Amino acid sequence: MTAAAGSIAERAAAVRERIARACARAGRDPASVRLIAVSKTFGPEAVAEALAAGIREFGENRVQEALAKIPAVAELAAQRGLPAPTWHLVGHLQTNKARAAAGAFAILHGIDSTRLLQALDRAAAAPVRVLLEVNVAGEPTKFGFAPEDVAGAVALAQTLPHIEVAGLMTVAPRAEDPEAVRPVFRRLAELARELGLPELSMGMTEDFEVAIEEGATMVRIGRAIFGERA
Ligand SMILES: *Cc1c(COP(=O)(O)O)cnc(C)c1O
């Protein structure tokens, strides 16, 4: 499915409406699902437009790109009397960028190795909230812990004073029919429940409604809000 035509504000409203309908189907409170607008490849002006439309949380997948964008957006927001947004890192993090990422983002979604947990713990000045990425479907091309390794990573994190594991994150395989990835979301939700972790970051433009039905607390949506990436 491609993003709806129209302005960022119109598309954001349409996404919110779809989130609300998915919540209604699942008997969930829409306030229990946070919309993270993934602004990668889009400039500060597009983010400011989304801010003006009421979106408050944004996701970036590259530290370098985000470090340039975050202050530019802050400046536009201040000029226009809009609140400053909260930033999420939604992509893979390299160990050598751990310090910069810990300082720039409110939460890091793509933490995928014990080595990275240890590097972040050493680099961070204050506790960092993280989500452990899980490669639920075992795809060789994807980052993430194998499901059977997550409990060990959580146990390790409990020994690290600057790490707070808030939950789990996954990127589902690409599928024509979002129903095909429902078992992936269901498995991640089970795993989080077993480990007593509250946050579940799952669901993107193609599959967020199914993810919400399976318990997502954060959906990471790019194209349905900003349009197709160049
Ligand atoms: C790009 C990206 C998204 C958003 O994808 P869309 O298909 O544009 O909604 C979500 N999560 C991650 C990790 C991404 O890299």
Tens-digit pLDDT profile for residues 186-218: 999 999 999 999 999 999 999 999 999 999 999
Span from the CA of 219 to the centroid of ligand 1 (angstroms): 9
Tens-digit pLDDT profile for residues 169-192: 999 999 999 999 999 999 999 999
Q: b or e along 141-160 (b: 16 or more beta carbons within 10 Å of the residue's beta carbon)?
A: ebbbbebeebeebbeebeeb
Q: Is residue 3 part of a domain?
A: no
Which residues, 6 or more positions from 160, have their beta carbon under 8 angstroms from its beta carbon? 117, 118, 121
| Mutation test residue for ligand 1: of 204, 210, 219, the one with most atoms within 8 Å of CB | 204
Confidence of residue 43 (pLDDT cuts 50, 70, 90): very high
Confidence of residue 121 (pLDDT cuts 50, 70, 90): very high
Q: Is residue 91 part of a domain?
A: yes
Q: Which has the closest alpha carbon to 3: 177, 230, 226, 224? A: 224
Span from the CA of 172 to the centroid of ligand 1 (angstroms): 10
For residue 51 the two structure tokens come to: 């801010």
Q: Which atom of ligand 1 is nearest to the CA of 204?
A: 9
Tens-digit pLDDT profile for residues 49-105: 999 999 999 999 999 999 999 999 999 999 999 999 999 999 899 999 999 999 999
pLDDT at 5 over 90: no
Q: Which domain holds residue 103?
A: 8-226
For residue 112 the two structure tokens come to: 């995928």
What's the structural domain count of the chain?
A: 1
Q: Is residue 218 part of a domain?
A: yes
Span from the CA of 161 to the centroid of ligand 1 (angstroms): 30
Tens-digit pLDDT profile for residues 6-40: 899 999 999 999 999 999 999 999 999 999 999 99
Query: What is the CATH classification number for the domain harbouring 163?
Result: 3.20.20.10
Cα torsion 81, 82, 86, 92: sign: negative
Q: What is the pTM of this model?
A: 0.96
Q: Is residue 40 part of a domain?
A: yes
